[in-house]
Structure 1
Amino acid sequence: MSEQSKKEPLAFRYDSDLCFPHNSLWNPDKRNSLDLKGDKEVWKMFRSGDDEAFGYIYMKYANLLFKFGLQYIKEREILKDCIQDVFISLKKNRRNLTSDVLSIKSYLYKAMYRQVMERIKKEKRQYIDLSIVNSQGFDISISEESRLISEEYLRERIKQIKSALGKLSKKQKQAILHYYYDGLTHQEIAYVMEMKNKSSARKLIYRALHEIRENVSKKTRSISLILTILLVSLLFHLFS
């Protein structure tokens, strides 16, 4: 069984609900014929000139790219421009794109990152107010609907976990979000974050989880039930 299929979605998510205006047009629960195909087949169709495949990729991933881009730039209109430029470039150059992608999502994340970095460099060259740059980024929130925190007596422990998450480095938070929210594999995370290999991504996530455990355990004599469940689950998925 693959790493991807073993993972169970947890409560981590990007600390932002802002999204593309067209979000109502994409319903992830509605079946599409292309949903039945794997990334490699959809990517092959797109590269061969299939406009339906291109539209499918855009509608499925534009909102995710928007949330990802918000971690670097605060200005919504600039992000829209960046996403548009990413997809214009994809369509224009699709026949020359690599046929071997780890996943469409990870490929688009990396393309978006490079586009955003180019835009920030352009803003700097033009001496434009750089308050648009998000100096923090990748803040993590925990869904209050999670089955792990449905009991009132666990809320205090969740506050401690949130506090510990806030102390992580930007790279650690990014890796955790990519793994547990975006569903990327270690290899895909290494690709997006331009790390040496998947082992580097695995170690980064492990160290982040270790820091969470250490920071929370300092505030209480014993690690709480919720923390135990959460960390055991995270570590199990990390090394499975």
Structure 2
Amino acid sequence: MARSRNQSGPSDETLWNMFRDGDENAFARLYENYVQALYHYCAHFATDRALIKDCIHDLFVELWKHRTTIGPTTSVRFYLMASIKRKLVRHLTAEQKLVSQDEITNGRRVGDMLPGADPSHENLLISHEEDSFMNNCLHQALDKLPRRQREAVHLRYFQNMSNEEISALMHINIQSVYNLIFGAMSNLKRQITPETVSL
């Protein structure tokens, strides 16, 4: 998950300013910090993995090309996510490939799981299997949410965005953000019951 400040080294805002001054290493660090987060965010809108990768590539090419005219930002994450969303939606609209909620649901895959436990310890394997099962249940429940609820949950709990940032990114008011997240939590509680997660 992308963070505004790395455990070591300069903050992303500092890297952003260094990149604007032509620092290729800072630009590479920003790419590494955000490429996965941008990819997972785009997966809410499109199932075409090649298109998502192309859009992300194009975005960073354009950023480098126009680095001297790009202004500073207090939230690199917000800037990049807003930019990639606009770019992806433009591509989908131009190609008349706007994805319906059902297509998004059917096309998504569970994200990369954590590496397996030590195969020499049976109890660790069983624990890993249970964790994977629970992750599957959670992902399946998330996939069944309406697209806007799923996007709000992803931004709030996976990207750690504030309600104000979500409001700006999704072009809705704060109350609507609360309503989306509350509705999503209610839906998840209904879907994830002791019966659905029993092994």
- TM class by shorter chain equals 0.5 to 0.7
Identity across the alignment (%):
25
Question: Which residue number corresponds to residue 76 of structure 1?
Answer: 49
**What displacement does 1:139 show?**
5.7
Unaligned runs of 5+ in 1: 1-8, 10-27, 125-129, 227-240
**What displacement does 1:163 show?**
5.8
**What displacement does 1:51 show?**
1.8
Q: May I ask how many residue pairs the two structures share in their alignment?
A: 180
**What displacement does 1:152 show?**
8.7
Q: State whether residues 140 and 166 of structure 1, in contact with CA within 8 Å, keep that contact through their aligned partners in structure 2.
A: no
**What displacement does 1:45 show?**
1.6
What are the Cα deviations for residues 29-82 of structure 1, in whole angstroms up to 9, with x where unaligned?
Answer: xxxx89432232222222222222111111222232223223323333322321
Looking at structure 1, the residues matched to 140 and 54 of structure 2 have their Cα atoms a distance apart, in angstroms, of 34
Question: Which residue number corresponds to residue 211 of structure 1?
Answer: 187
Looking at structure 2, the residues matched to 46 and 34 of structure 1 have their Cα atoms a distance apart, in angstroms, of 19
Q: CA RMSD in A?
A: 3.9
Question: Which residue number corresponds to residue 88 of structure 2?
Answer: 116
Looking at structure 2, the residues matched to 163 and 191 of structure 1 have their Cα atoms a distance apart, in angstroms, of 28
What are the Cα deviations for residues 161-198 of structure 1, in whole angstroms up to 9, with x where unaligned?
Answer: 6665344211111111222222222233223322234x
Question: Which residue number corresponds to residue 25 of structure 1?
Answer: none
Is 1:172 the equivalent of 2:149?
A: yes
- After superposition, residues 125-204 of structure 1 pair within 5 angstroms as 130=97, 133=99, 135-137=103-105, 150=127, 164-197=141-174, 199-204=175-180
Question: Which residue number corresponds to residue 22 of structure 2?
Answer: 49
Looking at structure 1, the residues matched to 44 and 191 of structure 2 have their Cα atoms a distance apart, in angstroms, of 24
**TM-score, structure 1 length as denominator?**
0.58
Q: Which structure carries more relative contact order (alpha carbon 8 Å, separation 6+)?
A: 1
**TM-score, structure 2 length as denominator?**
0.67
Question: Which residue number corresponds to residue 21 of structure 1?
Answer: none
Looking at structure 2, the residues matched to 140 and 207 of structure 1 have their Cα atoms a distance apart, in angstroms, of 23
